Structure 1
């Protein structure tokens, strides 16, 4: 395509960009049709994209080619139509990659600016092919740039235009893949370390609603990704579960801190209580964990793949320890209130660890837990999780041999049957205890809970 440059130079910026998109479409169609594996766009074509669509100057002495706001809007509409009309997904993905794959040069800033506007428009006008391409981009790109795109979308739909969040909400049904990647990106972006990095209320409400409608939504990328070990280390996590656990655990103390700061700054606005929202989110996350045993077994990954990693959990417990120290030292409210919020945060951490380990999302031992939780104050539930009967959950919860691809490698292939207790002679109405596998059929995914002296329920 390098030979068309001379024909593009005399054109105005919009006409040149439109013509190049047309030629790029034809070029990639021919590339795919040729059967070359892998199909790869050549360097000269990428340079044309940078010069005539991203307007990166090829010659320092040449005057910059820039679009005004109206021309840029027209270009975005042309791009939306181009992707919508192209029926082959392979061609669309290659074209999107040619336009927006980061090259590590000065044109990357222009790429990110144009990408944010294009994806925002695709959400507004329901251009699913672009959202699907953007989902792939989010999966393959460094997380620093993924969270930049997420921030643009949150600003556009949760901050700038009141009421526009309902438009963003609809991507759950139109492009679940993009929705999953978007949740992963915002869960990475907002770590609750400051007011600026705390998720907006509208965003929180939307994510809670999404998960209540379909808990499997956050697993879509994981379910559709071949795990070949080629996932870049710097990319987003396969699921947003780690980030969402962080939100739920830190929220009781982090949101209280931010509210206190706003009152100190003289703000008198009534802020809605976000406590029930985080309780609902916490419950949804636990429900997602309980879906995992069957899914991991189907993929042959039970006991081999941890969707929650120890390093982020260690960072979370460190952050929580600091928040707890700050709450103790700087609180201006009753000590009872501070203690209740602290215990709520610790309860949520304990429940997340307990249910994640029981369902194969977290592979660790009691010693690992003690190490990462060593700086945390005492909490009854956390203490029970750390010192209870659970050692390595991936082995304890391996299903029977006929249903598990890993049972032959596990030292525990089936659950031993508990001996039947004899009937007490003075109480003939007592029933002997049944064997372990059938004693609690309502909890098939986490049999270790049956031996605990407390019922499982999330903290509110």
Structure 2
């Protein structure tokens, strides 16, 4: 395509860009039809894209070409039509890569600016082919740039234009792949380390509703992507589960760590809305984790692929430890409030760890887990998880152990080193205590005399088994 440069130079900026897109489409179609593997756009074509679409000067003697705001809008409309009319996904993906794959040069800033505007417009006018291409771009690009794109979209639809949130919410049905990648990007962007890095209320409401409507949404990238062992560490996670888990666990302390935040934009009313949202999100994340054993077994990855990394878990525990240390220093919270919020955060951590390990999303031993959590204050449920019969792997290639959540595939057997004693019939059982009703009682022991009953500390929570193939008995705390 290098020979068309001379024909593009006399044209105005919009006409030249439109003509180049037309030739680029033809060039990539011929490239795909040639059967060359892998099909790769040559460097001269990429230089034309930078010069006539991104307007990066070819050399110092070439005057910089600029588009007006109206011309740029017209170019975006032309691009939307170009991708919409091209029926072959391979051609669309190659064209999108030629336009927006980062090259590590000065044109990358122009690429990011044009890409952000194009994706924002595609959301507004429902151009699914562009959203599908953008989903692939988010999978392959350094997370720093993925976060930048997510920030622009949040600003456009949750901050700048009132009432535009429903438009963004429609991507759930328009392009689930893009929606999944968008959730992963925003959970990477908003890490709850400051007020500015806390997700806006509208965004939080949207994500909660998406996952409640379709829990498998957060697994779409994992389900549809061939995974390899050399996944770039700089790319986004293959699922947003880790980021969502981080939100839920840190939220009780992070959202109340600054009195100024509690009083800003909605005050107490906003804070009262946020608590139940994170509680509902926490429950949804646990329910998604409960889907994993069957999925991992079908893929032959149970015990061989960790969707949650130990490094990310260690970073989360470190952040939580810091928040717990800081909580006592905030004078606007009473000591009772601090204790309640701290225990809520630790409860959520314990629940997430238990279900993650039992579902095969987190592969680690109890010893590793105790080492990571050693600095955290005491919490009854966390202590139970660290010392109780949690599923763990000494070697990632071992088969599922006896304490497996999917009893239909792996029958539960008694643990040889932990004989089971009969439960007192009148003693109330805490709802979060993992009981194993199918394990045989030891014949050498006789039942104790019934203990005097005492009022339960939580009478509204009936006793339920923890992991026996029944629905997860977690009740969100507010």
| SS of aligned partner of 1:307 | coil
| Kept after mapping to 1: 8 A contact 2:221/2:238 | yes
Q: 1:266/1:179 Cα in 2 relative to 1: closer, same or farther (>3 Å)?
A: closer
Partner of 2:300: 300
Partner residue, 2:445: none
Q: Distance in 2 between matches of 1:435 and 1:253?
A: 39
Residue equivalent to 2:79:
79
User: Post-superposition shift, 1:257?
Assistant: 1.7
Render the CA deviation track for 1:342-383: whole Å, top value 9, x for unaligned: 111111111100111111111111111111111111111001
- Distance change in 2, residues 1:313/1:401 (3 Å): closer
Q: Aligned ranges for residues 423-438 of structure 1 at < 5 Å?
A: 435-436=438-439
Change (3 A) 1:444 1:345: closer
Q: Do residues 459 (structure 1) and 465 (structure 2) align?
A: no
Aligned to 1:223: 223
SS in 1 for 2:270: coil
- Where does the alignment leave 5 or more consecutive residues of structure 2 unmatched? 394-399, 423-435, 441-463
Matched residue SS, 1:271: helix
Contact 1:390-1:448 at 8 Å conserved across structures:
no
In 2 relative to 1, CA 447–303 (structure 1 residues): closer, same or farther, beyond 3 Å?
farther
Q: Does 1:378 align with 2:378?
A: yes
When residues 180 and 267 of structure 1 are mapped into structure 2, their CA distance, relative to the original with a 3 A threshold, is closer
How far did residue 390 of structure 1 move?
A: 2.2
What is the TM-score with the length of structure 1 in the denominator? 0.88
Determine the structure 1 residue equivalent to 2:401. 395
Q: Is the 8 A contact 1:293 1:302 kept in 2?
A: yes
Cα gap change, 1:269/1:61 in structure 2, threshold over 3 Å: closer, same or farther? farther
Q: Is the 8 Å Cα contact of residues 180 and 221 (structure 1) preserved in structure 2? A: yes
Structure 1 residues 42, 382: CA separation in 2 closer, same or farther (over 3 Å shift)?
A: same
C-alpha distance 400-73 of structure 1, shift in aligned 2 (>3 A): closer
Q: Does 1:52 align with 2:63?
A: no
Aligned equivalents of 1:422, 1:325: Cα separation in 2: 39
Give per-residue Cα distances to partners, 1:125-158, cap 9 Å, x unaligned.
Answer: 0000000000000000010100000000000000
Q: Is the 8 A contact 2:13 2:67 kept in 1?
A: yes
Alpha-carbon distance in 2 for matches of 1:10, 1:434: 81
Shift in CA distance, 402/421, structure 1 to aligned 2, threshold 3 Å = closer
Residue in structure 2 matched with residue 331 of structure 1 by the alignment = 331
Contact preservation (8 Å) 1:359, 1:446? no
C-alpha distance after superposition, 1:310-343 (max 9, x if no partner): 1111111111111111111233222111110111
Within-5 A mapping of 1:91-102 = 91-102=91-102
Unaligned runs of 5+ in 1: 404-412, 424-432, 438-442
1:28-39 residue pairs with structure 2 within 5 A?
28-39=28-39
**Residues 331 and 54 of structure 1, relative CA distance in 2, 3 Å threshold:** same
In structure 2, do the counterparts of structure 1 residues 72 and 305 end up closer, same or farther at CA, with 3 Å as the change threshold? same
Residues 402 and 413 in structure 2, CA contact (< 8 A), matched pair in contact too: no
Deviations along 1:414-437, one digit per CA (max 9) or x if unpaired, are 5326999999xxxxxxxxx98549
Equivalence map 1:18-167=2 (5 Å): 18-167=18-167
Give, in angstroms, the shift of residue 261 of structure 1. Answer: 2.4
Determine the structure 1 residue equivalent to 2:270.
Answer: 271
Moved more, 129-138 or 220-229: 220-229
Give the drift of 1:247.
0.2
Q: Distance in 1 between matches of 2:420 and 2:113?
A: 70
Higher mean C-alpha displacement, 159-168 vs 266-275: 266-275
TM-score (norm 2): 0.85
How far apart are 1:444 and its partner, in Å? 11
Distance 1:396 1:104, change over 3 A: farther
CA 1:88–1:77: 2 relative to 1, 3 Å:
same
Give the Cα separation in 2 of the matches to 1:370 and 1:448: 27
Mean Cα deviation higher: 225-234 or 149-158: 225-234
Paired residues of 1:306 and 1:362 also in contact (CA < 8 A): yes
Question: Aligned residue for 1:427?
Answer: none
In the alignment, the residues of structure 1 paired with residue 403 and residue 267 of structure 2 have an alpha-carbon distance, to the nearest angstrom, of: 52
C-alpha deviation, 1:59, in angstroms? 1.5
Aligned residues: 433
* 1:415 aligned to which of 398, 407, 412: 412
